[in-house]
Structure 1
Amino acid sequence: MKLTLTYALFVVVAGAFSLVVVYLAMRFVPNYPLGDVNPQAAAVATRPDILQALVKASGVALLSLALVGLGVGWLIAGRVLRPLQDITRAARRAADGSLDHRIGLTGPRDEFTELSDTFDDMLARLQRSFDAQQRFAANASHELRTPLAVSRTMLDVAVADPDGQDYRRLVSRLRETNQRGIDITDALLQLSALDNTQPAMERLDLADTARGAVDTVREEARTRGIALFADIDPAPVTGNGVLLRQLVLNLLHNAVRHNLPTGGSLSLATGPDPARPGHTLLAVTNTGPSVSDTVDRLTEPFLRGSGRLAEQDPTRRGHGLGLAIVSSIVRAHHAELSLAPNPGGGLAVRVSLPGTG
């Protein structure tokens, strides 16, 4: 209605302006007293008569223009706003919780088609985010329920046969199970904090962080028979030292614990990123089972894809949050994370971080 009234008002104002110009021009028409020259001549309209008739005709013309402006303006406004109505209906459906629909506006590229495409992209991202959130909630519930269920089973067995229990071993197993629940909860809290706070940044050399992380996992790699190679060059970055150390450790632990049973290898490298000038590259590559079918989802919480199942050994068991935390740390540093399966199995991880420039 607003657009219709705007169109009609514009038409009326434009018509009125044109008529005013004609009226003013007519005032300069010579007013010859023809009746005084030839009294027998037929009556001839004088300038006042012409102006009076023009005023009456102008009133009729303006009324006609107003009616035409309202009618045509209503049709034009409806046609122009039809795409916006489609977008509005889609937004209402999204507000009701339906995210699986798309507008798919066709036609020439204009502001409405750009808005439609942007809205469709937003719906797609929201749907992926909500799907991931639902999977996260379901997996978190399962992961947190598992140690509680194990603890309850052990306690029920002990209550049923109190005399036949090795209480020292029972307490040790309960402690291990409880510690696993604590580790999962701590990891969830860390993941939540990374997504909601901006860490303090400073200039540092990622090479020093990488050396310390390699020293930390070297013994575990040796125990598992994994050859560890490090090619560490200076890697100045702007970041948070604690989080970057956690990032490198998570990648190394992930590479060690999801490697081949025997004869595996692991390599870490730091240095300038050849693909992105002004950035620093951290690359971690390991052998292992094939992960090509799940590589795109490995950063989702609790996902352990094909060939990436946690071990039964509690000292080497993961909880499926390592790469999720890595992804959050990367986002917090405005960096870029890429995961690619190796042709022979295993994973190649590249993290490109902003330099100190």
Structure 2
Amino acid sequence: MARPPGLSVRLRLTLSYAAFLMLAGALLLAVVWVFLLRYVPEGAITLGGRGGSAPGDGSRSPVLFIPGRADLWRAFAPKAAIALGVLLVVGLGGGWLLAGRMLAPLGRITRATRIAADGSLSHRIELPGRHDEFRDLADAFDTMLARLEAQAAEQKRFAANASHELRTPLAITHTLLDVARSDPDHDPVELLERLQAVNTRAIDLTEALLLLSRAEQGSFAREYVDLSLLVEEATETLLPLAEKRGVTIETSAPRALTRGSNALLLQLTTNLVHNAIVHNLPEHGSVRIATGNNGAVGLTVENTGPLLDPAEVATLVEPFQRAGGRVRADHAGVGLGLAIVRSIADAHDGTLTVAARPDGGLCVTVRLPPLA
């Protein structure tokens, strides 16, 4: 934004310091002047004169001269003007030095801001000294830079992963078409089926990316949501998949009210239940779903499955991250299930906790703010 030129903050502070010092000096001189006027008559008075104690002795009596206010003014005014001049010089010089010293941290913060504006988010102010307003500002700016740097790195990593994931189905499609073109006897039905599967995967990935973007933006209307009803709906929808894989589902879902987007929270619940069914034991697996309302509205989805490394589990909420024990060739997914869950939880001011079960499988807990 173009702005007209103006006085610098340092100059304005200097003028303010000098003006305050001049005002204080003028008030002090005025008080001294008023104090002196109490003991000085309006006009000058002369006491004493010629004459001695006896006639003809020729002696002189002493003369006492008392100055008047005009005489006092002539003596006081020049000295007061000199004093005010000295105060002006001291005020301007000292004010300039003090203002520069006070604004030095602000200059350091400004330089850091310009460095960040040029794209370098790794720079930090790290302002030394004791706690004060400038240190608060510098620390808050450093915290903001750290978060921006982390978000920028995460976005770059996410963009790279998304590009790779989207490029894979396109490359497969290109390969299938090249093979079909070079082989006239290729079965077109098989080609169409494989192309349909690849296209479905690309569509699922695109929809997941759009849903993740919508959750991160937080642009949705908030309404009353009962998590127990969402658990019931998600369970009914995914029950055929659970029966097909031989997974039993147990639910304990008392009423749990919160505020948020019904569609997004339903997607959160569906993702958790779907992951619990897919990433389970090959036979006789189980899924337990529970809701609670103890201080915070909670949703817990726990499933049996292979043993997982706790260090690997911590990365499952990152986009396109899959633990080795959770990759299923028949239903690998797009790697965004828990990332979408975390984004939806964050958008609702909630928390997501993912932990490996000691006997195998995963336990995922989402906590959301209760109704006020």
Q: What TM-score, normalized by structure 1, do the two folds share?
A: 0.89
In 1, the alpha carbon distance for the partners of 2:248 and 2:72 equals 106
1:139 aligns with 2:153: no
Residue of 183, 197, 209 corresponding to 1:161: 183
In 2, the alpha carbon distance for the partners of 1:342 and 1:71 equals 71
Quote the residue 1:53 is aligned against: 75
Quote the residue 1:8 is aligned against: 18
1:348 aligns with 2:369: no
Equivalent residue letter for 1:346 = G
Aligned to 1:299, what secondary structure does the other structure show?
A: coil
Residue of 85, 91, 108 corresponding to 2:107: 85
Residue 144 (structure 1) shift: 0.6
Residue 86 (structure 1) shift: 1.3
Quote the residue 1:257 is aligned against: 278
Task: Give the gaps of 5 or more residues in structure 2.
Answer: 1-10, 51-61
Quote the residue 1:304 is aligned against: 322
CA contact (8 A) 2:308 2:325 kept: yes
1:35 aligns with 2:52: no
Residue 106 (structure 1) shift: 2.4
Quote the residue 2:303 is aligned against: 286
Equivalence map 1:12-27=2 (5 Å): 12-27=22-37
Residue of 264, 288, 296 corresponding to 1:243: 264
Residue 136 (structure 1) shift: 1.0
Task: Give the gaps of 5 or more residues in structure 1.
Answer: none
Equivalent residue letter for 1:37 = G
- Divergent runs of 4+, >6 A: none
In 2, the alpha carbon distance for the partners of 1:5 and 1:158 equals 83
Alpha carbons of 1:64 and 1:123: their partners in 2 closer, same or farther (altered >3 Å)?
Answer: same
Q: What TM-score, normalized by structure 2, do the two folds share?
A: 0.86
Residue 217 (structure 1) shift: 2.5
Aligned to 2:275, what secondary structure does the other structure show?
A: helix
Quote the residue 2:56 is aligned against: none
In 1, the alpha carbon distance for the partners of 2:345 and 2:19 equals 56
- Aligned-pair Cα RMSD in Å: 2.3
In 2, the alpha carbon distance for the partners of 1:41 and 1:340 equals 106
User: CA offsets per residue over residues 268-323 of structure 1, 9 Å max, x none?
Assistant: 10121x3xx2x3211112233425224444333222245443x332xx23101112
- The size of the alignment, in residue pairs, is 349
Alpha carbons of 1:8 and 1:345: their partners in 2 closer, same or farther (altered >3 Å)?
Answer: farther
CA contact (8 A) 2:40 2:68 kept: no
Residue of 231, 235, 246 corresponding to 1:214: 235
In 2, the alpha carbon distance for the partners of 1:306 and 1:103 equals 41
Identity %: 46
Equivalent residue letter for 2:302 = T
In 1, the alpha carbon distance for the partners of 2:315 and 2:66 equals 92
1:223 aligns with 2:239: no
Quote the residue 1:185 is aligned against: 206
Quote the residue 2:3 is aligned against: none
In 2, the alpha carbon distance for the partners of 1:55 and 1:261 equals 104
